[in-house]
Structure 1
Amino acid sequence: MKHVLIIGAGGVGSVVTHKCAQARDIFSKITLASRREEKCKAIAAQIDYPIETAQVDADNVEETVALLKRIKPDLVLNVALPYQDLPLMDACLEAGIDYLDTANYEPPETAKFEYSWQWAYQDRFKKKGLMALLGSGFDPGVTNVFTAWIAKHELDEIHELDIIDANAGDHGQPFATNFNPEINIREVTAKGRFWENGDWQETDPLSVNKSFDFPAGIGPKQIYLMYHEELESLVKNFPSIQRARFWMTFSDNYLKHLEVLQNVGMTRIDPVMFEGKEIIPLQFLKALLPDPASLGPLTKGKTCIGCVAKGTKDGKEKTVYVYNICDHEACYKEVKSQAISYTTGVPAMIGALMMLTGTWRGEGVFNMEEFDPDPFMDALNKYGLPWNVTTL
């Protein structure tokens, strides 16, 4: 009998709640909390299982601690914004509750994400006998587990790693982001960064691209080099990696709109004065763009996310590709969300399941690849994200 508190009622929070309700033998009690409780109630109404709801400001440690002490969950599953990771970790420490998130901390005032802030909590969680699992989404998350599985079963040493994320879906909107617009645009407009020969290399945003031929009928797409947080933990935990890169697809239409928005200053994250008030242009833009949760019934096509790893097996060179194909329309039919939310929400639920069943346990702060990948890989097949492996 385990009680999970899900914080965040966006597209991912909705998927997580649906999927936890499907695994009710593990998640015997589910509470969904957000700044706006009416969003939680709307999600709960879609599910044929009792979901309790609550209001909480995840930036307010005191308020969150009060909620935790009142409802006494076994785990906090954080699918709020990355800005709120540290306040929620602080609240979990004070209340004595385990913690899980899907994306690492990002300070609101700087478009920069790295694990240093959360890794700094290691001793505090260990001292309290608590566990924090970081980045239990798809990328980061499943891609970390894919890498660990490759290292366990397919390659004795990984020398090169390419994480490749394609959204081949179409929502028919002139310009919209498939997850939180503010986080999405901050991420895409940041400098590219990759690991090579023991150091980080930087590139101008989206300046490096190439074609990649995706499976399942998706075909060739342009992929663009970006920085993504899982690279930081993977090169730390797999020191044989000599080069690690992250790539993502973007349509020409998306890139055209983004360029114009950048040129007119709408992607700025510093305050500007407007009619005597300070506003942040990117936050104003977010208010104008479609809510990602509204794209579910509109989106058709597939996603393909996976890892191409090159290394050696029994002294011979070998390249392995492990990937998942996810269909937007099938996701909407199952949980009323498109595949971007689905591919993040399902691994968040599985990570929570790993923790609550004791399959993955430890004291301190952990990244996904630090545990046995096999039970997680089995759960992906069981709960809606089946994977494939091929030798290139």
Structure 2
Amino acid sequence: MKDVLVIGAGGVSSVAVHKMAKNPDLFGKITLASRREFKCEAIAKSVQERFGATIETAQVDADNVDATAALIDTVKPDLVVNLALPYQDLPIMDACLKAGANYLDTANYEPRDEAKFEYKWQWEYQERFKQAGLMALLGSGFDPGVTSVFTMYLKKHYLDRIDTLDILDCNGGDHGQHFATNFNPEINIREITAAARHYEEGKWIETPALSTRQVYNFEEVGTKNMYLMYHEELESLATHLPELKRIRFWMTFGDQYLRYLDVLQNVGMTSIEPVMYEGHEVIPLQFLKAVLPEPSDLGQTTKGKTNIGNIATGEKDGQAKTVRIYNVCDHEEAFAETGNQAVSYTTGVPAMIGSALMLNGTWKGEGVFNMEQMDPDPFMDMLNNHGLPWQVRELAEPLKF
């Protein structure tokens, strides 16, 4: 058993730490750190009550490389699991290099002052991690993460070649709030309001945010409107699976959510440009985040299911083939196990699984890696065993849109 330091104390972190503590055969000492240690202590209390396991807690400002490196030196973990904000990816990677620790995260780096989602900043760490003899695993969440592993599992077992890939993310849950986001509001709204992009025939095609809508009937959830978006796994999959002719990402939104979002955009509340208020700089989106419900508090009221997966077209043994692979997760079941709703659960469980595979040496290497560069089979086995079972079925025909 090997030790981990988890940084961040939101809903995803809560799920990951609960699942780590639930599997003492996979994890040794678990230390949870955040800028606000009281949030870590609340998670540690929940873990103790549910599983009788003890979690160590610490305070750290993850933007401070020296402070984070000093904590790593003190804890001496075999792996640092970054479940903080995407803004903090690079400082935490720097701290891992300084202190000599392996690294894992669930989302790519984003600069604070621009809604830009690219892997280039983290890929530039490749030689530094390689020369240090360390491994950095990027995007071990669901999307990105499981969706990338799903893709490579289909390539390994179902398709000789993948021509097109559609990633479909559906949250069919209802939390009873007028307007709330199911993960960090600031990150969520930045993603949704950014221009949509998809990859086709070697080019990136950009369209206005939420301008392309399709309808899909999701297993165990029903028919939902889904919208074309940009998501970071498109970039990494297009890079590491160059045979792809087209890759798209779709996410479902309810009409009420979009009405509220439209109003907030129109009055400037989703802006990341600072404004002056009574002599102080205020970023509207950060203020909006402060007044919206905490995603980690939504679990008690959320009912319904998520359905996230892929549809791939390609060829097997010379014959055209379309394959669907997906997971369905129940919000109430996720809450009963970990005290968190399914959106946090579907990201926190893959973070735990990726960590376990790095710690036991199943996944190893020196440098910076995306999920699709790893052998998918052990990860897929663990999904079935740790709360995110998946299904595969062949479709009679490809998507018509």
Normalization by structure 2: what TM-score?
A: 0.97
- Unpaired runs of 5+ residues, structure 1, are none
| 2:228 pairs with 1:225 | yes
The amino acid across from 2:362 in the alignment is T
Q: How does 1:183-202 map to 2 (within 5 A)?
A: 183-202=187-206
CA positional deviation for 1:25: 1.0
| Residue 325 (structure 2) aligned to one of 322, 325, 344 | 322
Alignment deviations for residues 125-178 of structure 1 (CA, whole Å, 9 cap, x no partner): 000000000000000000000000000001001000000000000001000000
Query: Could you list the runs of 4 or more consecutive aligned residues of structure 1 that deviate by over 4 angstroms after TM superposition?
Result: none
SS in 2 for 1:352: helix
Match of 1:305 in 2: 308
- Structure 2 Cα separation of the partners of residues 189 and 229 of structure 1: 15
SS in 2 for 1:296: coil
Alignment deviations for residues 153-212 of structure 1 (CA, whole Å, 9 cap, x no partner): 010010000000000000010000000000000000000000000010000000001111
Alignment deviations for residues 300-331 of structure 1 (CA, whole Å, 9 cap, x no partner): 00000000000111111100000000000000
| 2:239 pairs with 1:239 | no
| Residue 277 (structure 1) aligned to one of 277, 280, 300 | 280
Alignment deviations for residues 6-27 of structure 1 (CA, whole Å, 9 cap, x no partner): 0000001100110001111121
- Structure 1 Cα separation of the partners of residues 111 and 149 of structure 2: 26
| 2:25 pairs with 1:21 | no
Match of 1:155 in 2: 159
Match of 1:264 in 2: 267
CA positional deviation for 1:274: 0.8
SS in 2 for 1:310: strand
- Structure 2 Cα separation of the partners of residues 91 and 219 of structure 1: 45
CA positional deviation for 1:229: 0.1
SS in 2 for 1:176: coil
SS in 1 for 2:298: helix
Match of 1:373 in 2: 376
Q: How does 1:340-355 map to 2 (within 5 A)?
A: 340-355=343-358
Match of 2:118 in 1: 114
| 2:15 pairs with 1:11 | no
The amino acid across from 2:175 in the alignment is H
SS in 2 for 1:169: coil
CA positional deviation for 1:225: 0.1
SS in 2 for 1:165: strand
SS in 1 for 2:137: strand
- Structure 2 Cα separation of the partners of residues 128 and 273 of structure 1: 44
Alignment deviations for residues 97-149 of structure 1 (CA, whole Å, 9 cap, x no partner): 00000000000000001000000000000000000000000000000000000
The amino acid across from 2:40 in the alignment is C
CA positional deviation for 1:263: 0.2
SS in 1 for 2:262: helix
- Unpaired runs of 5+ residues, structure 2, are 396-401
Normalization by structure 1: what TM-score?
A: 0.99
- Structure 1 Cα separation of the partners of residues 212 and 319 of structure 2: 30
RMSD of aligned C-alpha atoms?
Answer: 0.5
Match of 1:50 in 2: 54
CA positional deviation for 1:46: 0.9
Match of 2:294 in 1: 291
- Structure 2 Cα separation of the partners of residues 276 and 285 of structure 1: 19
The amino acid across from 1:368 in the alignment is M
